Structure formats: structure tokens, C-alpha cells
Amino acid sequence: MIKKNRLITGTILAVLLLWGIFFVFKNIAQTTGKTINQEYDLEKFVKCLNDKQIFLYGFQNDTNVAMQLSVFQEYAQNISVVDCNNNLEKCEGIIVYPTWNINDILIHGSLSLNILSRFSGCSLN
């Protein structure tokens, strides 16, 4: 009986917590006009990355590289990628994939759009 009461209490608390979180974010969105899934101008962002000759080292079928490219949605094919399967010379010394080359500084691992924006100086808006 005690376990059943704890389960019911826990379920009620979880529902109230989720409802509270939803209510808070809904009010923030209504008040500020901003949402969690803020729309970015990815086309302009990718063009800026290319204009600044910022590129990615990776392997064509690598899941980490594919996940990194997926954040660019339909503009992923426009990201400059050095395919290390076919360019071993250019990829010499690269040990983590993906690796970003930003102004000849190598940054290992996947980056969020916000971090990439900060490092590159390219605006997301």
C-alpha cells in the first residue's frame, strides 16, 4: 500500500513539474517573442563560414561527422568538408573527427551552432 501511494504521489509530482515547465516556457515565449527552437538563418551562416574558408575534416561515412553536418539541415551539403579518405596528406595529424579548421586553428569534435558562431564570427541571425 505504501509503495502504491508513493507511486501515485511521484506521478502527480512529475505531471505538475512538467506542466509547470511548459507554463513557464509558454509565458517566456509570449512575453519575449523568443522560443527554445529559435529559427536561424542557416543559409547565411553557412555562406559566411565558406567566405571565411572555415572547413571540416572528416570521413564520408563517419557517424560523428554526419551528426555534426545534420545541425546545418538542408545546407549541410554546402559545408566545406575535407574527406580524409581521399586526402590523407591534408588530414595528417588529425586524430579526432570531426575537426574544424577556423583560421588555421584546429578545434576537435562536434560544435553547436552557437559555439561555431562564436569561434567563426559568423552570425546565426
pLDDT tens-digit readout, 4-57: 777 777 677 766 676 667 666 656 655 544 455 578 999 999 999 999 999 999
CA dist 6 and 1 (Å) reads: 9
Say if residues 108 and 24 touch (Cβ distance below 8 Å).
no
CATH assignment of the domain containing 78: 3.40.30.10
Domain membership flag for residue 125: no
Overall number of domains in the chain: 2
22 with 4, same domain?
yes
Q: What is the pTM of this model?
A: 0.67
